[in-house]
Amino acid sequence: MPASVSLLLLFSALILSHSSSLRLCEPVNETISAEKEECPKCLLIQTSICSGSCPTKDPVFKSALSTVQQHVCTYKDLRFVTVTLPDCPPGVDPHFTFPLALSCECSLCRMESSDCTIQSVGPSDCMSGELAIQNY
């Protein structure tokens, strides 16, 4: 077998093995923190979020006139869940609302339901004392 064919087969095998290890965009279980600065305790909540990879492209020739719209893994169908934070002082709204992923899709990032930053604070980082895990 010619060396060029062997290299092509090896390269193809590497690409296929790497692409099969990438998770597609789908709901996954994750622990998030629910807290407010005025309330002394933080709830850790088991919920589902959208996570995974989406096909993307980056133009070879970049121009200030063209816009590149990258797709991200984001909510397709969701519902909002509200929990009550414990021990909040009088006058502080103890309610915390978060999105629960029912299904996901690759589309443009929607700021009203997604964190579109490059890297945000970890979803389960409590600033105050942790309390308990609730499942949703």
| Pairwise CA distance, residues 40 & 86, whole Å | 8
CB 104 within 8 Å of CB 26: yes
Enclosing H/E stretch for 6: helix 3-21
**pLDDT tens digits along 50-101:** 999 998 777 777 777 777 677 889 899 999 999 999 889 999 999 999 989 9
Give the pLDDT confidence score for residue 132 in this predicted structure. Answer: 61
**CATH no., domain 24-135:** 2.10.90.10
**pLDDT tens digits along 17-51:** 444 457 899 999 998 888 888 888 888 899 999 99
CB 31 within 8 Å of CB 58: no
Q: CA-CA distances (angstroms) from residue 123 to 11, 18, 24, 99, 103?
A: 37, 27, 20, 13, 19
Q: Taking the complete model, does pTM exceed 0.85, yes or no?
A: no
- Give the model's confidence band at 5: pLDDT under 50 very low, under 70 low, under 90 confident, else very high: very low
For the chain, the structural domain boundaries read 24-135
